Amino acid sequence: MQNTVKIVSPYDLSVIKELNLMDRNELEKSIQTAQHLFENQSLWIPAYKRMEILEKTASLMSDRVGELIHLALSEGGKPYQDSKAEVLRAIKGVKLAAEHISQIKGEQIPMALTESAQSRLAFTTKEPIGIVAAISAFNHPLNLAVHQIATAFAAGCPVMFKPALTTPMSGIALAEIFKDAGAPEGWIQVVLCERDLAEALVTDSRIHFFSFIGSAKVGWYLHSKLSPGTRSALEHGGAAPVIVEQDADFGEMIPDLVKGGFYHAGQVCVSVQRVYVHEGIIENFIKKFVTEANQLTVGDPADAATDVGPLILPKEVDRVAEWVNEAIVEGAQLLTGGKRISETLYQPTVLLNPSEKSKVSTNEIFGPVVCIYTYTDRDEAINRANALDVHFQAAVFTKNIDIAMDTVKKLNATAVMVNDHTAFRVDWMPFGGRDTSGIGMGGISYTINEMMREKMTVIKSKYL
């Protein structure tokens, strides 16, 4: 009897669809298919054809925007307006992948710099790295699939994509659209399986590149099990810090921070989590931030008026509630929220000065909770912001360029936003964590480059 998985609405827990899971024999056949495509260079898809297919994919996605929004919303629970933004981003991502193919190139290596290197011409070319095994997260089911599937296809790599079992339908739909756009059989395979088979896939010696988006615990574990020679890129989470100086513009800052903290119910790897506010403006900041947070509409993601939807699973609501209650017991002041609305919904919550040892201060919350801390000395606040082992994106709000640049320099982060929230991202910029938060760099063009390797040709001739 074949194992199945039920896809359930995060909002009302209704069953949307039941899908078959892959078994070990099916996985082996899929790996063999990918291996055959990569090892037989006569089957490689030429650059112009990959561009055509990606452009056609983007066009078909544009034709099916409504369907893709419905899929992402129903399986992921992200509110309608945000799901729509995700789908439009995903279409742009496919276009970016097509455009970057024309930028894939090597370089000439200078020779004759020594007597022994005379009469030679040397240059590098780029080749696809090989089979890509990609494991994705639930929170952006279509856009993350684009970042792993479209990039691998653009690089000329067969890709085996394992979506989160809570949100697989968007990735499956993307693979089908690629097929409709002309992608040859086997180049994009969706691997729907349990964790043990996912581990068997990524640790197989035939895999050349492992792309992972998800928790640090799982990512680093799988990374430790990779076969020798398998390259990897890991994108984990953080506990994004924000430094707010006394001269910050409240009119710009408050809406940005509320959006960055509660977007997709805080289920974003760079969601605003720890906000360090100068004590000189703390009362005004709290008043305005809490007022804005209280105006958010929590409810059905299908309703265009909804700002904050459900968490992905009821057990995540349990966890967030537990962490908030623990923080209050340990001394945090509850400014707003702190209550479960339903089995799947949790109020946007703001805590003041939780203990630096509370889970909400030391772990990625991945829920609709923002923590505010007061400070008097900016360097001390930066040290507190840097104290964790996760470092991804951060932010500073100030109108003083010297303070801004000094803070950018001192914050341990891969990206620091000045007068913007930590969750800002466009898909053509580099994006990734450092230290425990990951290795490698995402972003469409950056990922394509990581999925390729260089080959050097050296020609010796007396005529050179």
> Do 161 and 171 meet the contact criterion of CB atoms below 8 Å apart?
yes
Environment class of 305 (CB within 10 Å of its CB; exposed 0-12, middle 13-18, buried 19+): exposed
| Residue 157 a catalytic site member | no
For the four alpha carbons of 340, 345, 349 and 354, in that order, the dihedral sign comes to: positive
CB 142 within 8 A of CB 86: yes
Q: Are 148 and 171 in contact (CB under 8 A)?
A: no
Which residue in 235, 316, 364, 450 is the catalytic one?
235
State the residue for tokens 């289920």: 267
In DSSP terms, 159 is beta-bridged to: 132, 188
Reading the block at residue 385, the tokens are: 């912001």
- Of 343, 338, 369, 346, nearest in space to 298 by CA: 346
Active site residue 235: yes
Using DSSP, state whether 265 is helix, strand or coil. Answer: helix
157, 193, 269, 371: the active-site residue: 269
Phi, psi of 393 (to 5 degrees): -110, 150
Q: Which residues of 263-289 are buried (b: 16+ CB within 10 A; e: fewer)?
A: bbbbbbbbbbbbbbbbeebbeebbebb
Three-state secondary-structure class, residue 460: strand
Query: What whole-number distance in Å separates Cα of residue 69 and Cα of residue 74?
Result: 8
Q: Could you give the residue numbers annotated as active site?
A: 235, 269
